[in-house]
Homo-oligomer: A and B are copies of this chain.
Amino acid sequence: MVEATALARNAAGIETVISVLKQRFGDRLQTGASVREQHGHTTTWIENQSPDAVVFPHSTEEVSEVVKICAVHKVPVIPFGTGTSLEGHVNAPAGGICIDLGHMNKVLAVHEGDLDCVVQPGVTREELNTYLRDKGLFFPIDPGANASLGGMAATRASGTNAVRYGTMKDNVLSLEAVMPDGRVIRTGHRAKKSSAGYDLTRLLIGAEGTLGVITELTLRLQGIPEAVSSARCSFPSVDDACQAVMATIQFGIPVARIELLDTLSVQAANAYSGLDLPETPLLLLEFHGSETGAAEQSETFGEIADEFGGSGFVATASTEERSKLWQARHDMYWASLQLRPGARGISTDVCVPISRLAECVTQAQDKAAELNLLAPVVGHVGDGNFHTLVLIDMGVPDEVARAEEFVGWLNDTAISMEGTCTGEHGIGQGKKPYLIRELGAATQYMAAIKTALDPDNIMNPGKIV
């Protein structure tokens, strides 16, 4: 594990709060080691820093009650969705109370006429889409994990559909949140657009629980398209594939998804998902539209792919084939781990202007080779965002050091290309130094906002600022 910085603990306050909450919440307050550890869980290499207790509220009022008690005693509050974030977001470096929002998992309203819905934060993206299917609607944001919508908002998540439908920032109409003093606010209502004051919705989206606990989300929905088709195409090199992506975006084809797998990733997918893809860089695409619209998009892409040496172009509207391909894409994390059984996978998350994408991916591959690291690449390349999953043996210090060097080098490289160290995973504990390198003086104003809204630094301390 990579050590995470511990912060000073308010032991007396924590003890008091736990005894008050125990009385109030009974069995819904848990202090057992395994529950606590599970709530400091991180799927990356940052060490586990468990909270002192986990509480399971059922309502906004209960969240408010917990936060008010913690505020009085200046005890940290760590909001928790599904624990699938990657940068130590749910760690408790100063201990404190984890609020597990998993019991707040109701879809409160679906307004079909308005293409919106109101959900509690513990609803996962898959649960919501299952709920919506009969209504002909869907929510497009799909990070790798079956994350909770509250957590997805908190980290400004996106996924494979972002190239067409945007990220969480574009798909949340408004929020209800419990602020660090325990008061409940609404950041807006259900209008599709608004110029009413500071955009607190967007401020809380991506704040990683450091400014408040999201307790309700009003989400923008999409109609399930009349036609959905997918395509795959192999390329001689990552550079050719990226050039094809750039041309596709510039041509204005409204692709719903355009994903890159490098050769290593294709090999991993073939082995894990029983596929038989040519073992060269691959683009996976999905087209949404009317029957003619989706077909037209697919055809135009086919022509572009030709120009860049694409081969084995296969388009299909078959639901079964499509599902198999996209399931393989969603399983890439597990598939990649199988390239080196027993290894831990560390995911990078840089995002660069698309004109720099080919260069950035190629340089990343070269750098990984130079450092003798196994690091398959997958990417939401329509946005210029890609992940390398560095596969390392955490027991070999030199290997960990080389992985750290790689991650740092890649973040700095993306920043030097006018990009960002994080397209969708967030800062958490892991990327704090890079945030400062990326945004410089701006981070001081972030800190000022944090201090203004949370003067005692109780909301998810040690993250972002």
Which chain A residues have a beta carbon within 8 Å of chain B's beta carbons?
A: 111-116, 155-158, 162, 166-167, 169-170, 179, 183-200, 202-203, 205-207, 211, 222-223, 225-226, 246, 249-252, 289-290, 292-293, 296, 349, 351-355, 383-385, 414-415, 418-427, 431, 435, 438-443, 445-446, 448-453, 464-465
- Beta-carbon contact of B423 and A191 below 8 Å: yes
Q: Are the CB atoms of B113 and A419 closer together than 8 Å?
A: no
Q: How many copies does the complex hold?
A: 2
What 9 pairs across the A-B complex have the smallest Cβ distances? A452-B452, A202-B202, A113-B355, A223-B252, A191-B351, A194-B420, A185-B442, A190-B418, A114-B353
Q: Which residue of B lies closest to A426 (CB)?
A: B195
Residues of B within 8 A of A203 (CB): 198-199, 202-203, 449
Apart from the given pairs A169-B199, A199-B199, A292-B296, 4 other A-B contacts in the complex at a CB distance below 8 Å: A188-B439, A191-B418, A195-B422, A223-B251
Query: Which residues does chain B contribute within 8 Å of A440, judged by CB atoms?
Result: 185-186
Q: Are the C-beta atoms of A439 and B186 separated by less than 8 Å?
A: yes
Q: Which residues of the other chain, B, contact A179 by a CB distance below 8 angstroms? A: 445
Q: What are 13 A-B residue pairs whose CB atoms fall within 8 Å in the complex? A: A113-B246, A167-B193, A185-B439, A185-B441, A189-B418, A191-B351, A192-B354, A196-B420, A198-B203, A199-B206, A222-B252, A293-B296, A449-B452
Q: Is the CB of B198 within 8 A of A464?
A: yes
In the bound complex, how far is the Cα of B448 from the Cα of A200, in angstroms? 12
| Known contacts A246-B113, A418-B189; A205 and B196 CB within 8 A of each other | no
Chain B CB within 10 Å, residue with most, of A167, A179, A198, A251: A198
CB contacts (< 8 Å) of A414 on chain B: these are 191
A203 to B157, CA, bound (A): 18
A427 touches B195 (CB 8 A): yes
In the complex, which residue of chain B has the Cβ closest to the Cβ of A416? B189
- Complex CA distance for A91 and B411, rounded to whole angstroms: 44
Measured between alpha carbons, how far is A188 from B414 in the docked complex, in Å? 13
A317 to B61, alpha carbons, bound, how many Å?
56
Q: Is the CB–CB distance between B435 and A197 below 8 Å?
A: yes
Contacts of A223 in B (CB 8 A): 250-252
B-side contacts of A196, CB under 8 Å: 420-422, 427, 431, 435, 438-439
